[in-house]
Chain A
Amino acid sequence: MGLIGTSLSNDASSLFYNPGGAPFVNEKWSFSGGISFVFARSTFQAKDVNYQATMKHELNLPFYFYAAYKPTKNLSVGLAVNTPYGNRLSWDDTWKGRYLIQNLSFKAMTFQPTISYKFKDIVGIGIGLVYAYGTVDLNKAIPLESASGDGTLHINGTTGHFGFNAGIMVHPVKGLSVGVDYRSKIEMKVKGATATFNVPQSLRAQFPENKVDVMLPLPANLDFGASYTFGKNNQWMVGINLCYVFWNTYDSLVFDFETKTSAVGRTANPAMYESRLIERIGVEYKINNMVAVRLGGYYDPSPVPTEYMNPQTPSVNETGITCGLSLYPTKGLCIDAAFLYLMGATKEGTYSPDNFAGTYRTGFNIPGIGLTYNF
């Protein structure tokens, strides 16, 4: 429903969206899991050149699994497993921006044990320890050619780091729910990733087999949500969500090679991301006890400044429309189907440190399914 979970507490997904909401789940046990199918394409038109390229986002399958248990009426413990960030994109190996990026896969999976408590059915608080496990795999070309073509660099590594997720939920009056949640930044420092160079033989001494440290910070989020349930049998619900993403922590992508030579050292590619507010709104209508439908919309402005627009993360301002359907075949069981459509605005920009200029357009279709069981 437009991803407005910060003020909702229907099931174990609160563990992720706002741990303060978990004790408000009515049943003792709640399990929720699901998967999405991210279909995405980016198109690039070079500035001043008669050249277009399309980027394939490899089919990305973000999934989640949440389990919550209430040992007492007011206490909830749970575990949330999620893949909040994932990026698998590949441009053609010979494309115009190959010296910036050919393909990049960055995946993070989080494991979050959580404890929450509520006071008098009015205020709930919760906190979870977040362990994030990440893998990075990157290929780019190097402008040093042999008879068989460009040089290449392949980086591959894994990392794991900790953060936290804390939230508070308040039900001040009947029907109204307000939540605030903070997910901390996680410094995903990949230490000692394998760096493999393939360069012409005559230059190999300058590009030895190497290890590299790469820093890929997951930004902090501060979410505020409010929802209101009303109408006959509480058939209607509307909600809003404001999510402030502290993207400004991502000021540069640093590669620090262990074995330094005249050609290989520490490079910092400026990213200069700017913090952004994502605005979301959604509405739900329960047709009957068996079926509910949802509709939502959101605006997710790109954190990338125009002069740092780059093909590694060709982020454009996204306007998204979401729709969803929930079926309740028996008590406690819910089957969800959701569809997220991101229209993809066009954005013209230059990655100025590399003088790489053009217009990008990225669009997503993200269908998803989920299953929840409360008992």
Chain B
Amino acid sequence: MKKILFIILSLTFLTACERKIDEFASNANGINFSKFVAVGNSMTAGFADAALYRSGQQNSIPNIMATQFQTVGGGEFRQPLIGTEDGVGVNVIPGGVYCTSKLALKIIPDVDCQGTPLGTSSLKPSFVLTNPDQNMLKQQLLAAPSVPGPYNNMGISGLTLLAAFMPGYAAYNPYYGRFASTASSSVIGEAAAQQPTFFMLWLGDNDALSSALNGTDIQITPADTFAKYYPMAVVALQQSGNNPKGVIATIPDITSLPFFTTISKQLPYNGVTLNAEQASGLNILYTMYGHSDIVWHEGQNPFVYVKSNGKWAQMQDGDLFLLTVPTDSIKCKGMGIADQSAQPFPKPYPIPGKFILDKTEQTNIQTAIAQYNFIIKGVATSQNLALADMNAYLKTLSSGLIFDGIKFSTTFVTGGLFSTDGVHLNPRGNAIAANYFIQAINSHYGCQIPQANITEYKGLVFP
């Protein structure tokens, strides 16, 4: 009796006391996710830290979504992966392009205007390669991806709605040129030719933003043009052959991104402090150069910058410094005031327009985005597609959200969402965005796609 009881006891407690819970019940609800194709710009491509690099692409929003689609019949999601992890960023400069590597946070010793170390240091985004070999970067960018196409991720940095229809666009944008199937392909055409069963379309940011970012006169795509082409893009995908379902997304108010908000929190628009003598000297100087309309006075004065129409003006409250503005030149070289070291005489030194987003530009962009989003929402309704309202979601995020014990906000670096360029998300931010797309799909199509485990994705990496 005793023996039997002991045997029973032993068996009972040695058998695993693990208690099972039901796993997540995935359910496609009849939606076919076997061929998923994503069309968009840099946000879709997995561009981050001001460059295209391999692990950035591997952590792209649609790739994270495709990983989750695997539980509901999703197939392979092929991406045009670049070979380099250091990345390639293409910047248009007068007479050509200049390539950079990606940015990463680095500890930079603080120096004064004479270059003397101050003994302190700051955490700043810096290029991982200084003075990189231009030919090497161009080769890395244009080298054919190791896996042949067609590619499910048709996200292309810089892509606008109109450019997506342009045959031969590969010649104008190396981010498309590097993987376009033919020299005469268009992005939408190539996406439709893959006959997706499910698609994602997230376009429009660049239609509103390009002009301001480049400090040039590239026109904002007019709303009536957007209203004509956006449904065409959607219908081209819908009529591609497999009667696909899909998700489209609104455009976030990009002026709320850290790229536009960070510097202005530290540097006031009227950060020029003058005494009476300095003010009168500047007035004489500016008059000599034909800008007598710019008046300096004793006390606090706004910086001077170049407007998008080429005219000079003093900044106003609410004008934004972009993250790329050379703060060292403002602090030490007189940028925004006058270059005192110019020979033989000092000369006025306005801040180039590409570093400032003034209130007029902000209003134009915000108006365009509001109009585009109205159009996008209308198309989602009329074409019966899932809508990810990324504009609304970014607003929610900017006031702060918490997931799994991690606090997120749209604050640069410490907010945990953005990469070091202040525009594009880091991998963990991409996972949060991908989850929002998945929620939109689940809600519209009644399916149950699991969301990504955001803690599996890296946030910003600190040195």
Contact = CB atoms under 8 A, between A and B. Distances in A.
B172 interface: no
Contacts of B5: 325, 337
A362 B461 CA distance: 36
Nearest to B461: A145
Contacts of A48: 24, 450-451
A365 B9 CA distance: 10
A41 to B, nearest CB: 4
Nearest to B459: A145
B317 interface: no
A285 interface: no
Interface string A28-61: 0000000001011101111011111010000000
A99 B23 contact: no
A45 B23 CA distance: 7
B13 interface: yes
A202 to B, nearest CB: 5
A356 B405 CA distance: 7
B67 to A, nearest CB: 10
A41 B19 contact: yes
A217 to B, nearest CB: 23
B416 interface: yes
B453 A96 contact: yes
Interface in B446-463: 450-453, 455-456, 458-463
B24 A49 contact: yes
A145 B17 CA distance: 35
A344 interface: yes
Contacts of A39: 13, 17
B398 interface: no
B402 A355 contact: yes
A359 interface: yes
Given A43-B21, A361-B21, A97 B404 contact: yes
Given A201-B463, A202-B123, A365 B402 contact: no
B463 A200 contact: yes
A365 B453 contact: no
A366 B306 CA distance: 77
B20 interface: yes
Given A37-B13, A40-B17, A146 B402 contact: no
Interface in B1-43: 2, 5-6, 9, 12-13, 16-24, 26
27 contacts: A43-B20, A44-B21, A45-B21, A46-B453, A48-B24, A48-B450, A49-B452, A50-B23, A50-B71, A50-B450, A51-B453, A52-B23, A97-B404, A99-B406, A143-B459, A144-B462, A145-B461, A145-B462, A146-B462, A147-B461, A200-B462, A202-B107, A202-B462, A202-B463, A344-B19, A354-B404, A367-B13
Interface in B226-265: none
A41 B13 CA distance: 12
B18 A363 contact: yes
A364 B16 CA distance: 10
Contacts of A100: 404-405
Interface string A141-182: 001111100000000000000000000000000000000000
Contacts of A346: 19, 21
B189 to A, nearest CB: 35
Nearest to B104: A147
Interface of B: 2, 5-6, 9, 12-13, 16-24, 26, 68, 71, 105, 107, 123, 401-407, 416, 450-453, 455-456, 458-463
A236 interface: no
Given A344-B19, A361-B20, A361-B21, A146 B461 contact: yes
A143 B454 CA distance: 12
A353 B458 CA distance: 22
Q: Which of A143, A201, A353 has most B Cβ within 10 Å?
A: A143
A183 interface: no
A339 B13 CA distance: 9
A74 to B, nearest CB: 38
Contacts of A144: 462
A97 B405 contact: yes
Interface in A215-270: none
Interface-central residue, B12, B107, B406, B416, by most chain A CB under 10 Å = B406
Contacts of A70: none
Contacts of A107: none
A341 interface: yes
Nearest to A201: B463
Contacts of B6: 337
Contact of B19 (A43, A46, A49, A367): A43
Contacts of A122: none
Nearest to A357: B404
Contacts of B450: 48-51
A50 B24 contact: yes
A143 to B, nearest CB: 4
Contacts of B22: 45
Given A96-B404, A97-B404, A97-B405, A203 B24 contact: no
A318 B26 CA distance: 29
Given A50-B23, A96-B455, A201-B462, 10 more contacts: A44-B21, A51-B24, A98-B455, A143-B407, A145-B458, A145-B462, A146-B462, A203-B462, A361-B20, A361-B21
A41 B463 contact: no
Nearest to A363: B19
